[in-house]
Structure 1
Amino acid sequence: MPDMLVSLHSPILVELKRRIESDRVTIRPALPPEMRLVIDWVRENFSENWASEVAVAFSRRPVACLVAVDAGKLVGFACYDTTAPGFFGPTGVDAESRGRGIGLGLLSSCLDTMKTLGHAYAFIGDAGPVDFYAKTVGAVPIPAPDKGIYQGMLRRPSR
């Protein structure tokens, strides 16, 4: 999967912000006292690697992790500036909550936060849903002959 680049000054992002409806879901910055809960939730629902990146997000000031909360329950998260400055992700939504626009809301809110902090562009590292990012935020693949920052990353052996 390629890394992708997003211009944070694109008119597509302004339009995206207008389209998002949040129903009962609140998207907000994570609070330091929520750190263990959020990290454990990400580890249980996604991966140990993503949980590590969330831990880095909580070490930033301000905390570089947004959460989606529905009726007091964590249903999604999105981080920025974790693997490297300017990187968006990881991000994920609880399987039962998908299809409600929560991921889109997290993406939009995160990119808007990054722009407010002075970033002109965001990198989406090792982008999974390439077509989704291209269509929703105008992201373009970065041509590279390798895996970029993830080249040679240590991983746990498969059991």
Structure 2
Amino acid sequence: MLVRLLDLPDISEKEKELLESEKVVFRRPIPPEKSIVVGWVKKYFSINWADETEAAFSKLPVNCFVAQRGQTLLGFACFESTAKNFFGPTGVIAEERGKDIGKVLLVKSLVALREMGYAYAIIGGVGPTPYYEKAVNARVIANSEKSIYQNLLKHNG
């Protein structure tokens, strides 16, 4: 999917609301947290996503945002970790979904891409197309069924 970065929604009120009501902090992790974040992504999502998250830590500042409550990770969103100008992977643990944590992570990541100089961003390997259409007015890229993920090796264990 393609997202115009010049028209992103303002999520500052939602971020403030989540901090006040749910005690959720959104931020970029720092290198000493790499093993914690990568291990969490592997545990709750997949080893492939953990590898992409690890790649996000190869940049400074880290090309990832996390949502946390105290010492508990709730969600993450990476960008430019697998390909230039790509958003993802991203995820929020099941019990925290529906609170807009994912949307805040998404928009913060897309704003970071805009600050890197991009006018548009690509969301690769999209699952919930309607979610991205509604959240950031993303559009499906015609003939994009084949992608950088088409021959992805997957862990069998």
Q: Structure 2 length as normaliser, TM-score?
A: 0.90
Off by >6 Å, runs of 4+ in structure 1: none
Instruction: Tell me, in whole angstroms, the C-alpha distance in 1 between the residues paired with 2:63 and 2:106.
Output: 13
Instruction: Tell me, in whole angstroms, the C-alpha distance in 2 between the residues paired with 1:62 and 1:19.
Output: 24
Q: Which residue of 2 aligns with 1:56?
A: 55
Which SS does the other structure have where 1:54 is aligned? helix
1:63-89 deviations in whole A, cap 9, x for unaligned? 101110112311111000011010001
* Structure 2 residue 5 is the aligned partner of structure 1 residue 8: yes
Instruction: Tell me, in whole angstroms, the C-alpha distance in 1 between the residues paired with 2:73 and 2:44.
Output: 11
Q: Which residue of 2 aligns with 1:76?
A: 75
Instruction: Tell me, in whole angstroms, the C-alpha distance in 2 between the residues paired with 1:18 and 1:60.
Output: 25
Q: CA RMSD in A?
A: 1.5
Which SS does the other structure have where 1:59 is aligned? coil
Instruction: Tell me, in whole angstroms, the C-alpha distance in 2 between the residues paired with 1:146 and 1:114.
Output: 23
Asked if the contact 2:30/2:61 (under 8 Å) is kept, the reply is: no
1:111 CA drift (Å): 0.8
Instruction: Tell me, in whole angstroms, the C-alpha distance in 1 between the residues paired with 2:102 and 2:13.
Output: 13
Instruction: Tell me, in whole angstroms, the C-alpha distance in 2 between the residues paired with 1:18 and 1:39.
Output: 27
1:19 CA drift (Å): 5.2
1:17 alignment partner, one of 11, 31, 40 = 11
Structure-2 change in CA distance of 1:93 and 1:114 (3 Å) = same
Instruction: Tell me, in whole angstroms, the C-alpha distance in 1 between the residues paired with 2:26 and 2:144.
Output: 36
Greater RCO structure (CA 8 Å; 6+ sep): 1
1:118 CA drift (Å): 1.1
Which SS does the other structure have where 2:148 is aligned? helix
Q: Return 5+ residue gaps in structure 1 as ranges.
A: none
Q: Structure 1 length as normaliser, TM-score?
A: 0.89
* Percent identity between the two aligned chains: 45
